[in-house]
Structure formats: structure tokens, C-alpha cells
Chains A and B, each alone.
Chain A
Amino acid sequence: MPPVVYKEKCKSCGKCEEVCPGDLMELAEDKKAVCRSARDCWDCMACVKACQFDAIETRIPYQLGYYPAKLIPKMRDKEIEWTCIDINGKVEKFLVKTYNK
């Protein structure tokens, strides 16, 4: 499923390219990240979590889920703050623990 890259936010750090388990993210000629094959994405969100510049958003294919829902992780030391916004604009927040130390 297609991750959407906001080119103006991409700082070309290559982190998303480094981690994608499917080898799908790469830096194009303009040095901005692209997903080479939207259909092959597993939407594991590893690239979204890796991007420190909020330049990537996971999108559910329209064939399965409606527009414009959003799910945004904010990575912290020992937790992730997730913000979920549904198609009617309803916002939910979650603080998910990631490390016990």
C-alpha cells in the first residue's frame, strides 16, 4: 500500500530506504524519497517511524478505506505518541510504550 512522501519535507537522509523490509523506498534522482511500487508495500510503517521529518504518511488504498484518514507516529525515547484522525476529523491519541528501561 502506498506511503505518500511529502517532498518538501524530505531531507534526503535515507533512513526510510535503509529499513524498508521490501526494498521499496529509495532516493530518486532529485534525492527525494519515493516508494518504487505502491502495490508491493506491506504498510508495516517502518519507513514512517524512521523518518524524523514527518515526510512520510501511510495511506490505506481507497479501494479498502476512505479518504482522508491519517495515522501519525511521533517517536520518543521510550514511547510512540500516535495520533489517529478519522475521515470525519475525529482525533484519538495513544501513548504506546516501546522500551521498559
Chain B
Amino acid sequence: MPRASLPNSADKIEEVRIDTDILIIGAGNAGCFAAIEAKRLNPDLKVTLMEKAHIDRSGCLAGGMDAINTYIKKGRTIEDFVRWSRSQAGGLLREDLTITMAEVLNKPIEEWEDWGMPIKYEEDGEEYKTRGKWDITISGSEMKVILAEKTRECGCEIINRVVATNYLMDGEKVIGAIGFGVRDGKVYIIRAKATIIATGGAAGLYKPYQNDGNDSHHQLWYSPFNVGSGFAMGIRVGAEMTTFEMRWCATRTKDFNGPIDTISVGYKTPMINCKGEQILKTRYAHLGGDAAPRFIRANLPMDEWREGRGPCYVDTTNMTQEQIYDMKYDYLNERPSYVLFLAGRAQDLQKDPIEIYGSDPYIVGGHTASGYWVDVKRATTLPGLYACGDVAGGTPNKFVGGCAAEGLLSARAAVEYVTGLELANINEDQIAREKDRIFAAGFRQAIVGDGVKPREMEERLQRLMDEYAGGVHQFFRMNKEGLEYALRHIKIMKDQVKYLIASDLHELMDAHEIIDRLDVAEVLVHHLMYREETRWPGWQTRADFPEKNDEKFDCFVNSRYNPETGEVEMFTRPYEQIIPGDRLKA
């Protein structure tokens, strides 16, 4: 694709206008499944995918996956699944959403297999090979390419390399989206009867510890190209968000910041501290031992460090050579460069175990419960807008299968919603304003030639969040005063957005990435301030409120940015238990 240069004035901006029935923003895992399902339900509908990268390798699945973390195997029930997911999330999730997701959880995975994705079977042949209780092992290196091919086949319109920047609005109603082509420099105005947001979660809000000078800035676990744009677009027009404070801070392989389940779940290697103690079984037995909730497992290597018992490891020294070989095979399916990293250390895993450490915190609704507040149809609080995958809240432990399943659910609801509906009228003033907002950093570069580079502002935000809002360098801990400090500086930066400069279209994308991250970070800090307790140590550790406070906070913390006043309004929503039993037990 040839690259255009930045338009140097508003009248030079070329427009592309598209009308469609269903617009899906983000052609990742959930977005592709939504597109396929919508076309399947009604082949006469026009379905358009708007993707900032290229559908073949975009989003979390770019490098592949080696497991589907949630699949309901024979003999297991939806109730079992809810109980497990609930206990892993410390007892707080939307049971209605979890149940509706579980009802369709297996379908996308079995379809993927039909389309060509290899899934491993048990030796006796019949059942998928299991990894943990709910995990199955796949050979998913090319799974995104397979899914993209299927999406093309079903006749969707796919617009690659277009970055969505805002929704088109008709009052409170979402009537499509606007964005710009990062290769062609055109502005895309896509009017739709229903819109599905599927842009994934947010990485890059916090500084990762691997960030030495320049070369490893994006040495992240989560896809660094998912920056939370979908959250930001919703925030800016007043969509209700939930549980941002339940951050996804994970135990990852030290220095590489890569997935760990491949080793610890896949090969049952215990976590140990520098003294060789199996910490889950000993020091943390009272919190559930090996079955402790995810946040406990994420937090404890960091606690061990803080107590002077780091570094920590997953003990690979008892693995056989064959197991080590198989484990590398699994990594080649998911994060192939981790195998290269091990070669870069010439590490003999029978002698040198794999070191582990905390990751930088992410906002990922497929792992924790952060994201849009939705109903069982995956409708957001804005009419005409549905959400699925890592961008949708309320349902932790979705992972690959659950995000895809939500794609199906949101498509079903959108297809129903558009029946008999006419396209709304576009507000041309909004378009004119948004064009100016989109290209502002480019215009400033052309006219003033001096200002703030997107990268400078990104690094400022990441350091601020790391130090004052519970980043990995602070062992995920925070207090009221630090959070207030973070908020003050986020506000300064939000005001400084007008100084951003961009010298080409890629830098313009960088500029919008930091603009979006600022909006997400602001809401996140409000959530962290509001929950004056510690519910999920590690994910959400308030050093000034170290205990859990069920009386006040056994509920969802929600927010709504008020576009009129610019204030973030905080409130709670009650927990509703549907599946009986102890919420902390699987």
C-alpha cells in the first residue's frame, strides 16, 4: 500500500463515506466472529469491519495462541463454570453475562477447528487434550490467518488500516464511527444502523520494567497496539463503564514479560522463591494454595520480592527433556520469540528454572471485569452500540473462547436491532469538528513546527501511572494522595494535547493512541480512588485501605464521564447472585 502524506489543511482532507447495516470496529478475534455470525444470520445485511491494522495479523492473536483457556468439557456444567470463574475473580462478576457467554462458549472453538485450526486430542482420541481444568491445547500459530480467511469468505466488507477515533452520534444514539486511514490519509465516515465495538483492551498505560532506553519499549505481554481506543471512544460520549480498578497485573516470565500458563499450568511446574520453597503450598496455603485465585498467584512473586525472598521462579528443573521440548513447541504457537529469548540466555531449564515477575498493569475485560457496562445482549448504555471481547466488562475469564462467544452474542443482538431500522442523519458539524481534532497534530507540525511528540507524552503518562497509580515498580500498591497526584498530572496532559505534533500519518496514529490512553487513565484513576478497600491484592492494592470492606464494596464500581461538565461521575451497582453457593469457592 503506498503511503500518503499528511494533509496540511482541512480542505485538503479527502473523505470516504460508507453506509452499512452493521459496523464492527476492530477485526480481531471477537470482531471477526461477530462479522461471520451477522452474515450467517442475514446474508442480505451489509457488514463492515473497520481495522487499524490488517485483519490477517491484528490484535492479540497476531503471533498465535497455544491454548484456549475456557472450554466446557464433557461432564462439566455451566454452573460449574460460573462457580470457577466467580471464585477466580474474588467473588465479583456478572453472573447473567457469564451464563449467557458460557451457553455459546464451545461453538466458536469447534468452528475454528472445522476451518483448519489444529486442536490437540487425548491419546485415546475422543476428547480434546486438557491442560488445566478448563483449558485445551491448540496449535494456533496461524489461527488469525484462518479466521481472517473465513471472514473474507462470508462476504463482509473489510477496511484495513483505518483507525477509529470517535463514534458518530445522533443525540445519545451511536450511528457509526469516524476514523482516518493510516496509509491513505483519508477520513472515513461510516454510517451504520448498529455498531459493535471490538477493539480489545488497553496496554501501555503503565511503564513496563523492561523499558531500558529505547529498544524494549514494547516488550509487553498484551498487544501494545491495543491502546484502549474503544474504551476512550465510549468514555468521550458518556457510556457507562465498570470495574476499571480490577486491573490485569499478571505473573509473567521475567525480562521477556511473556505468558506463564504455558509452563505453570501446561507442565504443572510449582512456583518457588529464592529459597526453593513452593510458595503456594506453604506461605500462601491459607489463600487457596495451588487453586488460589488468579490475583493471588499474580501478586505473590512480587510480595516475595518485597519481603526479601526474590527472585522467584517456576521450577522447571524437574521437567524431562521431552517436556521442555514440548513446552518450547507450545511457545512457538503463541509467543515464538520467547524461544529465541531462552536461546539468547542459552538457558538449560533442567538447571536454571524460569524466572517470574509481575507485568505492567493492563485493562483487559477478557481477563478481569473492566469495560463497557452491558446487558445480556451485549448492548451498552448507548442505544445502537454493542460491545464484545476484551473491551466489554462484567465477565472475567473470557479469554479466546469467551471473547469469540461474545462476538456471536453481540452480532445476534445487532442483527435483531437493525431489522426495519433506517439510517440516521449525519450531523455535519460533528464531522467538521472531528476532522479538525483528528488532524490537529499534523496541522500544528506544519504551521508551528514545534511542540510535544506523542512518544514524549506517552512516556510521561506511563511513568506517572507506574509511580503514582500502582505500577509494577511500586509492587502494584497505591494510596489516595498518590492517585490524586496522578489525576492532577493527567489533567495537565489532557490540556497539553493541543501541543501534540505529528510529522506523518503513523505519528498521527501515535498521537491518537496517547490521547485515548489519557482518557482511559483518567477514568481508571477515578475507579482506583473510589474503591477504598483492597479486594484483589495485586490487581487493586490500596496501601491506605489494606482490608476488604464487604459492607461498602461488595458491588460493582461504575463510572460515567459527563461530556457536558467534563467530570467523571462514580457510582455503584449491586451484585446479583444467580448460581447459589459460596462465591469464593469453585
Contact = CB atoms under 8 A, between A and B. Distances in A.
A98 B139 contact: yes
A17 to B, nearest CB: 7
A26 B507 CA distance: 14
Contact of B218 (A42, A58, A67, A71): A42
Contacts of A20: 53-54, 57
B345 to A, nearest CB: 6
Interface in A72-98: 73, 80, 82, 84-88, 90, 92, 94, 96-98
Given A21-B62, A46-B57, A60 B141 contact: no
A69 B57 contact: no
Interface string A1-21: 110000000000010011111
Contacts of A44: 57, 62-63, 337
A4 to B, nearest CB: 12
B484 interface: no
Nearest to A24: B506
Interface stretch (B206-214, B234-242, B381-389, B547-555): B206-214
Mostly, the A contact residues are: loop
Interface string B212-223: 111111111001
A96 B332 contact: yes
Given A21-B58, A82-B336, A98-B142, A45 B63 contact: yes
Interface string B101-133: 000000000000100111100000000000000
A71 B343 CA distance: 9
Interface string A25-47: 01000000000101111111110
Chain B CB within 10 A, most for which of A41, A67, A87, A96: A96
Contacts of B113: 100
A66 interface: yes
Contacts of A70: 340, 343
A23 B509 contact: yes
A63 B210 CA distance: 9
Chain A CB within 10 A, most for which of B52, B53, B218, B329: B218
B1 A36 contact: no
A66 B213 CA distance: 17
Contact of A99 (B1, B146, B212, B328): B146
Contact of B214 (A38, A65, A100): A38
Contact of B217 (A19, A39, A64): A39
B217 A84 contact: no
A82 B64 CA distance: 15
A58 B214 CA distance: 16
B471 interface: no
Contacts of A21: 53-54, 57-59, 62, 223, 225
B217 A42 contact: no
Interface in B4-44: none
Given A46-B57, A99-B116, A100-B116, A87 B346 contact: yes
A42 B62 CA distance: 10
Chain A CB within 10 A, most for which of B116, B161, B340, B345: B340
Interface string B133-147: 000000101100010
| Residues of A in contact with B, size category | 35 or more
A56 to B, nearest CB: 13
B57 A63 contact: no
A80 B141 contact: yes
Nearest to B182: A23
A40 B224 contact: yes
B346 A61 contact: no
A98 B118 contact: yes
A45 B216 CA distance: 15
Nearest to B505: A23
Given A20-B53, A38-B215, A96-B332, A101 B116 contact: yes
Contacts of B223: 21, 42
A43 B337 contact: yes
Contact of B344 (A2, A22, A80, A87): A87
B417 interface: no
B258 to A, nearest CB: 10
B339 A65 contact: no
Contacts of A2: 215
Contact of A96 (B58, B139, B161, B343): B139
A44 B224 CA distance: 11
Nearest to A59: B340
B217 A65 contact: no
B345 A65 contact: yes
B256 interface: yes
A42 B225 contact: yes
Given A1-B215, A42-B218, A94-B328, A64 B344 contact: yes
A63 B183 CA distance: 32
B56 A19 contact: yes
Nearest to A43: B337
B336 A71 contact: yes
Nearest to B213: A63
A58 B116 CA distance: 27
B280 to A, nearest CB: 27
Given A36-B506, A90-B346, A42 B220 contact: yes
Given A21-B54, A21-B62, A69 B340 contact: yes
Given A39-B215, A71-B340, 4 more contacts: A21-B57, A64-B256, A65-B345, A98-B118
6 contacts: A18-B56, A21-B59, A23-B53, A62-B215, A64-B210, A101-B116
Interface of B: 1, 3, 52-54, 56-59, 62-63, 113, 116-119, 139, 141-142, 146, 161, 182-183, 210, 212-220, 223-225, 255-256, 325, 328-329, 332-333, 336-337, 339-346, 506, 509
